[in-house]
């Protein structure tokens, strides 16, 4: 049955390359937040709420990768093991999945991508999926706090959604020590509710 809830759950990039210790851009302690993320997913499913998963989904050559002029080790190449959902993640049967970066675009938000040459931004399907379901409020969980979770949350606020994140349901890259806490602060400043549970 279609849900009448105005609240959706967005599950950002819980993929092997970020979560598995053998992954291409493995984030320390990421497996430790997966049970809390799953608890959020189960609660949303039991409540018939909309759940949208995102996947980082890059071509083999992209200016996102250090080898091609960017900053990141190779990760989440389309259809590779690393791009698959982490096996312990609960993926609901009618999951909506938004893949980002498929055309070699850059950017971290689940709502938009950026052409690396022209810098032009374009929308993913995220906002239209949320609008189709009458969503006014989003909860965002996943990886990485200081990149894709942050940018998705800031974009959700910009687009007028009431937005919350949970400390127990996200993990940061921390390229520089303190990046994760700075990201949490930036989200709060933008009106994102940061919950301690």
- CA distances to 79, 108, 110, 131, 147 from 152, in Å: 23, 7, 5, 16, 8
3-state secondary structure of 152: helix
3-state secondary structure of 141: strand
Contact 165/142 with Cβ under 8 angstroms? no
Partner from ligand VGL, Zn ion, none contacting 144, C-beta within 5 to 8 A by type: ligand VGL
Q: Tell me whether residue 13 is one of the annotated catalytic residues.
A: yes
Closest separation between CB of residue 160 and Zn ion, Å? 26
Instruction: Tell me whether residue 161 or residue 180 sits nearer to Zn ion (CB atom).
Output: 180
Partner from Zn ion, ligand VGL, none contacting 90, C-beta within 5 to 8 A by type: none
Contact 94/109 with Cβ under 8 angstroms? no
> With binding defined as CB under 5 A, does residue 151 bind Zn ion?
no
Instruction: Tell me whether residue 56 or residue 139 sits nearer to ligand VGL (CB atom).
Output: 56
Of 20, 56, 105, 127, which lies in the binding site for Zn ion, with binding defined by CB under 5 A? 56
Instruction: Tell me whether residue 72 or residue 166 sits nearer to ligand VGL (CB atom).
Output: 72
Counting Cβ atoms within 10 Å, is residue 157 exposed (0-12), middle (13-18) or buried (19+)? middle
Q: Which of 13, 17, 146, 155 is catalytic?
A: 13
Binding footprint of Zn ion, residue count (CB under 5 A): 1
Q: Which of 56, 100, 146, 169 is catalytic?
A: 100
Instruction: Tell me whether residue 113 or residue 143 sits nearer to ligand VGL (CB atom).
Output: 143
Q: Which of 56, 76, 148, 150 is catalytic?
A: 148
In what helix (H) or strand (E) does residue 171 lie, and over which residues does it extend?
A: strand 162-171
Residues that bind ligand VGL (CB under 6 A): 13, 56, 72, 108, 143-144, 147-148
Contact 32/6 with Cβ under 8 angstroms? no
Q: Tell me whether residue 100 is one of the annotated catalytic residues.
A: yes
Total number of residues shown for the chain: 197
Using CB under 5 A as the criterion, which residues of the chain lie in contact with Zn ion when the complex forms? 56
């Amino acid at each position: 049955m279609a849900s009448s809830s105005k609240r959706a759950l967005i599950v950002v990039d819980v993929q092997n390359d970020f979560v598995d210790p053998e992954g291409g851009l493995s984030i320390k302690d990421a497996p430790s937040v997966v049970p809390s993320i799953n608890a959020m997913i189960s609660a949303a499913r039991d409540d018939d709420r909309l759940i949208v998963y995102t996947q980082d989904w890059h071509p083999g050559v992209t200016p996102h990768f250090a080898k091609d002029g960017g900053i990141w080790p190779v990760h989440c190449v389309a259809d590779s093991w690393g791009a698959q959902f982490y096996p312990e993640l609960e993926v609901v049967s009618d999951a909506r999945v938004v893949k980002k970066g498929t055309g070699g675009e850059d950017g971290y938000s689940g709502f938009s991508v950026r052409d690396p040459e022209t810098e032009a931004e374009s929308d993913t399907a995220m906002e239209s999926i949320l609008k189709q379901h009458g969503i006014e409020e989003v909860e965002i969980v996943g990886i990485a706090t200081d990149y894709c979770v942050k940018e998705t949350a800031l974009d959700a606020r910009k687009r007028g959604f009431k937005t919350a994140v949970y400390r127990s349901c996200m993990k940061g890259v921390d390229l520089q020590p303190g990046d994760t806490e700075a990201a949490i602060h930036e989200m709060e400043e933008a009106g994102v509710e940061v919950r301690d549970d």
